[in-house]
Amino acid sequence: MPNPVTLHFLGTGGGRFATITQKRRTAGIRIITEDAKTNIHLDPGPGALIYSINAGLDPQKINAIIISHSHPDHYTDAEVLVEAMTRGTIQKRGTLAAANSVLNGNTTCEASISKYHQKMPQQTITTTPNTVFQINQMTITTTKAQHTDPDAVGYRFKTAEFGEFAYTSDTEYYANIGEQYKNARLLILCVMRPGGKPWTGHMTTDDAIKIIKETKPEIAVITHFGMRMILEGPTKEAKRITQECGIPVIAAVDGMRVVFGEQIRTEKPIGKRQADLNMFLKR
């Protein structure tokens, strides 16, 4: 049976001011296969727990938590989600895969998940560029990011039936970055700022245009917007990228879903009442 993947954009904000104002949520992305055997929370920043519940996504069903780097908008809710994944620490289950800085710290960042929580999952994986690991039938490969956390990474997700989708995480543009994301049908880019307003370690609309031209995905989604991007208008910036690249580009909104299967389609956010009903029906 076909087993498409749904990506739930629980949050689409990033950076200090978007985080502390919550002009856009910072809850990360939940990745769930239709058969529910793979249930991943990617970059669970502030709000990941509560917005999972509000969306009808039971955090106790998670079987993997993946974190790209050690900045609060990417890791803050990780420990409580580890506790949910391990059923309140009663069951040693699931996978925690995170950048070296998240688990061990480095010269820039201290470790952001305690050793106590690192011991709870069935396996804990330190991800550096080109690390390959498996979550059920999904193969995940780590890519290189160039960010203010020197251990930051991105991820490629290979499905058994429908090819690959990829997530850049926070990175600035560098030579040959596009090589890492070629053949990904869906490319998710963390675009912190609009064109012409660069910020060290982050991507602008101009950078996204270069990467999309290099990689030529079927569809691209921009997300993880800082305040300057939010004020400028992500939808306007997505339209500009589409015009420049000739490839459909979508500006993510909080609660949006992308279904990755034989076709790639977007779905509008659902209301809390429907989410509550969905969670009830899944029990």
How do residues 44-66 score in pLDDT, each as one tens digit?
999 999 999 999 999 999 999 99
DSSP state of 160: T
Q: Is the pLDDT of residue 198 over 90?
A: no
**What value does the mean pLDDT take over residues 219-244?**
97
Q: What is the pLDDT of residue 278?
A: 54
Length of the chain: 283
Per-residue pLDDT tens over the stretch 98-135: 999 999 999 999 999 999 999 999 999 999 999 999 99
pLDDT of res. 45: 98
Q: Taking a C-beta distance cutoff of 8 angstroms, is the pair 159, 5 a contact?
A: yes
pLDDT at 66: 98
Q: Is residue 177 pLDDT above 50, yes or no?
A: yes
Q: What stretches of the chain adopt beta strand conformation (E)?
A: 5-9, 29-33, 39-42, 64-67, 95-99, 123-127, 132-135, 138-144, 153-159, 163-167, 184-193, 203-204, 219-223, 249-251, 257-260, 264-267
91 φψ region: left (φ > 0), alpha (ψ -120 to 50), beta (else): beta
Q: Which two tokens stand for residue 274?
A: 């429907």
Higher pLDDT, 282 or 243: 243
* pLDDT given at position 272: 52
| pLDDT for 268 | 84
What pTM was computed for the model? 0.94
List the one residue out of 256, 154, 260, 257 whose CA is nearest residue 211. Answer: 154
Select the CATH number that applies to the domain covering 5-282 from these four: 3.40.50.970, 3.20.20.60, 3.30.565.10, 3.60.15.10.
3.60.15.10
